[in-house]
Each structure stands twice: as structure tokens, then as C-alpha cells.
Amino acid sequence: MRRSPSKHIAGANGAAETAGEDCAGRPPKETRRLTMVFPLESQTPIVGGGADALTSDAIDPVRLPSIRGQLRFWWRALGTERTADELFENESALWGGVDIPPKTESRVPARLDQAGTSSNSPPQPDAKKSLIRLDVQVERAGHEAPAGWHRRLDNGQFRALPEWDDGPSFGYGLFPLQRSREERKEAHDAGQGRLGTKTVRAGLRFKLSVAIDDPSTNRLSDPDLNRIVAALWAWIHFGGLGARTTRGFGALALREKVTLAGRGSDALGATWGPLFAPCPADARVFAKRLARFKETAKIGHEAAQQDWPVLHGARFMVARACERSAHDAHRALLGALREFRQGPGLGRAAGSQGRPSRSNWPEADALRRLAGGAKFKVHPPRGPCKTAPAAPRAAFGLPLNIGFKDREDEQANGRVVVDGTHDRYTSPVRLCPIACEKGTALPVVLWLRPGLQTVKLELTSEDEGDLSPEKVTIQSVAGAQQPIAKYLGAAEPEGDAVDAWCKWLESSKGWERL
């Protein structure tokens, strides 16, 4: 059970430490500790957040391990380490870790084996304690509710696709919350009148306390502390709580002034205080604040060379004006991504009777070719048969699961994955409804670098399970249909789906690239 903070801090002998120096002549522990308190509230629905995937925790709605994981992600994204080993060593020294390779020989005394030969135990992995302590005080848990409802069909069965309470744009981002076939059958057999999707949480308020004991004793330099605060700023503005944060869910906002106390707080407050202050409802002001954040956090402008997502060389797309609320800004972000990827006349052919037709992206036809293109009579693969397969939409994150509705096409059901052992690739594209003054919010897209270059295309149909996955490229126009082919062809580099989307946002929505 989490304990509430005490007015006194227990010393090593169990006695409370009070004002004045300790027995070693040092200032009291309260003044040697750097503390920061962030009063936060959720701006957009929180998906999941509990120990189980996509499930909220009614008892512990804000889990410290999740926040720690988010902060470590942004701390890594702010670094200049060039190798994974260097990153692991620096991260473990600050945030703690296990299975850390020892730097010295084992100090276990030599022993004799059965043959009488002297031997030493092999070096044992070390474990390091985190220098950063987090605590959460939930002030208002908010409320949970289904994000949508599965309606009954005339035959009594529940529809596979739910009706989303906030419309199809939000449904585009919340599709993992729809109920499985087994859950729908169970609800039907139980005679339920309607079936809700998995729930989301709204209206959460909490305080996050961050404490670093005596930074000077722990040999934390000013750049070390600056990087920690920068990670907190990035998490609050570009991250969030729960799942689907890359799609803008669980977005946060400061509702009161950040409080800093203890060693180093004056310098950090002078540097970061203006950046944590509420942002005026003006896209131009946010652009200036973003530039100041990059300068303060020492973020480079050159493209990243690391193998993990970093802010160095990242790109931003900013809407021309704020929306009236975070909800509206989130809707605008999701709607823009949905339109480009699936919108009739853009991501898909217009079709007839209000129903979109085939995808203008090349992944579906690439799967048909992999499954034996000549046998598809109703929807044969388009383009030259020898066209190299491509999967540009993989740039938005993986896995990309593709299922067909027509019975003939079902044998081409498949997915795009990273490789044979890794299915997932976290999207480098983050939708960020940035909270501004007077309850307004600015739609912002963050594109982290670097990205993938090649992926695997594999069939999931039981009839085609013996076919080997095919390696395909991401940055390619091959097989794309108009108008998607036009935007992919104009992208830099050619075929980059994220840059193509950014160019579409500029030309069609009037957004600005920063």
C-alpha cells in the first residue's frame, strides 16, 4: 500500500530528521534532495493503464512502473549515446536495472573443485538502484465507460464493428478495444441487449512527485539533471498515460504551477519555469516555445544515427490554429491520419453508394501476389506483375494486419511485421493535442527518427501457411495507386509514407512544418 508523504523524513536510525545539520555536519536531507511536483490531469481518454493490456485498474489508476517506463523512453530519446551498450550503461546508472555486466572480476574467494584445482566463480551480474524516486497522489480517479457499443443485427448476433461514441475518427484509434468473436458470442448466448467495448477513463487528476537524493553526492552533473527535466517535459507534452499514446490517447496537461525545491531547484526553475508555464492559444507562440525546448534540451537538428527513436532530427507538423478543446484537437489529428490512410478518394478508391472501394496503398496487392496473383479474378493485383512489393504504411508502425471481406480474397489475408522474431514496431509518429490556455489545444504531429527500411510480408491464411515470408521495402511507390502514388512520389525520400502525409497536411490542411 502506498504511504502518504510525511512532514518528517526518517533517518538511518529511525529518528525523524528535522532542521539543522546532521551528525556529519551536512545540511539536512530535505535540502540535499531535489524534488519536483507536477499537478497533472488527463486531456484525452486513457486506454488501459492497468497491469493487463488495454484494461484499466480501478484501485491503482496511475501505475508508477508505467510512468517510469515512459520517462525512460523520453530520456533515451534525448540522449547522444551512439551505441546500445553506452545507452544501457548510462541508463542503468541513473534509472537502475538488473543483469548489468560487472566491470571488475568477481570478488568471490577462490575454491577447490573436485579435482583439487583452484577456481573462481564467474562474474555475477549486478543490480543498480534507481537514483530517481517517483510517487503519485491520485486526487480524482475520474470515470470509466465503454468507448462504443456493439449493436445487435437482425439475426440476433452482435456486429463485429462497434459504433463509437465519439465518432469514426476516434474509432480509428480505438479499434483494439472492440470485443472479440468469442466475447460477442458469449454476450449473445447470455441474452445481453447490447455489448460495450472495453472501457476508457476520463477526468483523471493526480500529482507526480519526483525526488533525486543529493545530486552532487550521486555525481549527477547539471547536464544530467537538465536531461531528466527535459524527459519530464517531453512526456507531459508528447506522451501520456496508458496505451495508444502514439495516437494521442492519455494526453496530459499541467493544471497548476510546477513546484521545485532543494538543491539545484533555483537554476532549474529559472531555466524550465517558462517552458512549463501555460502556452497561449497561438500556434506561433508554441513554435517559439518548441524552439526554446530544443535549445534547452540540447536537441540536434541533424538526422539521428541511433537504432532507437530519438528527438534529434525529429520533425514536427503544427496546425494553423488551436481547437476549442483537447477533444477537438484529438479528433482533428485522428481524422487527418484516417483520411490519408483510408479516406475515400485518397487512401481508398471512392467506390459507389457511399462505400469506399479498394485500397490505393500497395500492401493488399502485394499480399495477393504473394498468395499467387493469377488466381484472383474479382480483384486481381494491379500494376506490372514484376513490380517489387512494397509496404510504405509500415512507416506508421507495425504490425499491419490486413484482412479481406470477399471470400476469394481471404486466402491473401496477411500482415506486415518487422522480421521473423519481432512483430511490433512502435510508431515513430505521435499525435499530440498540446494543451494551451483557456482550455484550448493545438494539434501537433511529432515524427521521431530514425525509421525502418525493410520489413517482412507474410500470409496468415491457413491454406497458405507453407509460403515463406517475403522481404519488402518500405520507402517505395511501387504498386501504389493515385492519388497516393502522387504523394509518395513527392516525398523525401521518395516513397516515405510519413513525409508524404506531412506534405498532404501542408497542401490540404494548411499545417506548418517545424
pTM of the model: 0.88
Residue bearing cell 549515446: 81
- pLDDT tens readout for residues 228-239: 999 999 999 999
The pLDDT of residue 405 is: 83
> What cell was used for 237?
507534452
- Specify the pLDDT at position 8: 28
Per-residue pLDDT at 248 exceeds 50: yes
DSSP per position, 341-364: HH-BTTTB---BTTB--SBSSSHH
H or E stretch at 22: none
- Band (pLDDT 50/70/90 cuts) for residue 123 is low
The three cell numbers locating residue 393: 504504411
pLDDT digits (tens, 9 = 90+) for 206-216: 999 999 976 66
Q: What integer pLDDT is reported at residue 304 of this predicted model?
A: 67
- 351 phi-psi bin (left φ>0, alpha ψ -120 to 50, beta other): left
- Mean pLDDT for 365-375 is 86
State residue 241's pLDDT score.
Answer: 97
* Average pLDDT rounded to a whole number, residues 86-103: 83
Per residue in 157-183, pLDDT tens? Answer: 999 999 999 999 999 999 999 999 999
pLDDT score of 342 more than 60: yes
Half-sphere exposure of residue 499: CA atoms within 13 angstroms, side-chain side: 18
pLDDT tens figures, 21-49: 343 444 455 556 899 999 999 999 999 99
Does the pLDDT value for residue 100 go beyond 80? Answer: no
Residue 5 in this model has a pLDDT that exceeds 50:
no
3-state secondary structure of 72: helix
Higher pLDDT, 263 or 442: 442
Q: By C-alpha distance, which of 307, 314, 332, 317 is closest to 440?
A: 332
* Residue 180, Ramachandran bin (φ over 0: left; ψ between -120 and 50: alpha; else beta): beta
- CB-based burial label for 317 (10 Å; 0-12, 13-18, 19+): buried
398 pLDDT above the threshold of 90: yes
Please say if the pLDDT value at position 254 is more than 90. Answer: yes
Cell of 90: 548510462
Look at 456 and 4; give whichever has higher pLDDT: 456
Q: How far apart are CA 202 and CA 205, in angstroms?
A: 9
Three-state SS at 318 = strand
Average pLDDT over residues 300-311: 83
Note the pLDDT of residue 294.
96
What does pLDDT average to over the chain? 86
Question: Where is mean pLDDT largest: 152-156, 359-363, 418-422, 446-450?
Answer: 359-363
